[in-house]
Amino acid sequence: MARHSQAVGRYVTIDVDGFEYEVFYLRNGSGQPLVCQHAAGCHNHQWRDMLEDEDITRHYDVIAYDLPWHGKSDPPVNQEWWEKEYCLTADHFMKFVLRLCDALNLERPVFMGASFGGNLALQLARYHSERFRAVVPIGALDYSPGFFQNIWRDPRANPAHAIPNLLWDSMAPQSPERDRRLALHHASQGAEAFHGDMYFYSVDHDLRGELGKIDARACPVVLMSGSYDYIAPPTAVEALARQIPGGIFVEMDELGHLPMVENYPKFRRYLLEALKVVERKSRVGAG
C-alpha cells in the first residue's frame, strides 16, 4: 500500500545579488517557522526524519531547502555559471537565506544548520539577529580553516568518493550503519559543489573575536556538538558558547558531526531539549 510523506516539495524563485535561483525546499508542519540548512556538499534529505517527526511538526513549520548548486536547486538560471568558479561567500550565503525567508513570508524563523550550516547560523546571529527568533548551530565553529583544498577537485583523488568517505570518521560508531551510509550517499551527490562550499567554511567564515558581539538576548543561540565530532568537538564548541553572552551549549552523547542524519532517534531527544531552551529564552528575550 502506498504511503505518502506529509512533507511537500516546492520550488521558489528568488534573486540574490542578481543571481536568479530556483530553490527547492521540503516543508511540513505548522507554527513557528524552522529553517534548516544542510551540510556542505549535501542536500535537504539530511532533514527528512525531522520533517516527518510529529513532535516537531506539531509546533514548527519546518522548511529544509537545498542551497543552490546542491540537490534539486540548480546553479543560477540567469548566469553562465559554467564559466566561473563556484566560491560561496559569507555575505552571499546570508543574503540567500534572508531572501528565501522573505519569499516564503517567514517572520522571525528559527534557523538551524549543521556543519557549514552551523557556521552560517553563527554568521546570521552576528549580523542579522533581528531577523531570527533564535539560531541552533550544530557542529559549528567560529573559524574552521584547512578544508579549502585543491584535492577536492583532483581527479586522481576521485572526489565523489573521497569527500563523502571523509565524513565517515566524523560520525559516531554507535550510529546505525544504514543511516551513516545514507549520510555518505547524500554527500556523494554534491562533490562538485563541495570545493566552493569550503571557500565559505574555511576562508570567508571567520568570526574570531566577533562572538561576544552577538546579541543572544534578541536572538538566542543554542550550540550543539556531538561527542564523536572531531571536526567541531564539544570542548571547542562549549568554549564558543562561553564567548557569546547568554549562549547555550548542548553536548550530544554518542553522536557526531551530522547527528540529524546519522542517528535521528537519538538526536531528536537533544533537539527537543534545544527547542525548549529556544522557547524559554526567546520568551525571556521578548519580555
Shortest distance (Å) from residue 158 CB to another protein: 4
144 belongs to the binding site for another protein (CB under 8 A): no
> Which segment (55-63, 70-78, 94-102, 162-170) binds another protein by CB under 8 A?
162-170
Span 164-193, contacts to another protein by CB under 8 A: 164-166, 168-174, 184
Going from the C-alpha of 220 to that of each of 121, 204, 206, 282, the distances in angstroms are 11, 24, 20, 6
Q: Which of 104, 153, 111 is nearest to 132 (CA)?
A: 111
- The residue among 127 and 143 lying less far from another protein, judged by its C-beta, is 143
Place of cell 504511503: 3
Contact window for another protein (CB under 8 A) among 12-20, 130-138, 149-157, 240-248 = 149-157
Beta carbons within 10 angstroms of residue 103's beta carbon = 15
Among the listed residues 140, 178, 164, the one whose alpha carbon sits nearest the alpha carbon of residue 261: 178
Q: Residues in contact with another protein, total (CB under 8 A)?
A: 24
Please select the residue that binds another protein; options are 161, 242, 269, 276, rule is CB under 8 A: 161
| Smallest gap from residue 23 Cβ to another protein (A) | 31
What residues have CB less than 8 Å from 262, skipping those under 6 apart? 171, 172, 175, 176, 179, 180, 183, 255, 256
What residues between 204 and 233 interact with another protein by CB under 8 A? 227-228, 230-231, 233
